Amino acid sequence: MRLRPVVTGPECPYIEDMNRILSPIESEFATAEEAEAYDRWFRTKVEAALASTQPSIPHDEAMARLRALIDEKRRAYAARKLER
């Protein structure tokens, strides 16, 4: 996804019709409205994470947890395939 500068006003070349269909080369979203809605959601999540008072998890520990989860899902998938 290509990011555009945050500029507003009539002089801004990036203000466009919110219902304009976006090219898949330009954006992964179908419309500018969808792209902006995702951007608002993502920024809210990042701001909440930065403001969180929960203790952080070291990178190595987070990766180990994710590897274990992926392995568990792969084993469950393989077991379901064998049952067929």
Q: Is the pLDDT of residue 7 over 50?
A: no
Give the whole-angstrom CA distance, residue 73 versus residue 23: 35
Percent of the chain at pLDDT > 90 equals 51
DSSP string, 37-53: HHHHHHHHHHHHHHH--
Instruction: Name residue 31's beta-bridge partners.
Output: 21
Give the whole-angstrom CA distance, residue 35 versus residue 9: 19
Percent of the chain at pLDDT > 70 equals 69
Give residue 31's pLDDT.
84
Domain edges within the chain: 1-53, 56-84
Residues 6 or more apart from 27 whose CB is under 8 A from it? 1, 2, 35
pTM for the structure as a whole: 0.46
Higher pLDDT, 7 or 46: 46
Question: What pLDDT digit, counting tens, does each position of 18-48 carry?
Answer: 556 656 666 788 888 988 999 999 999 999 9
Q: Is the pLDDT of residue 71 over 70?
A: yes
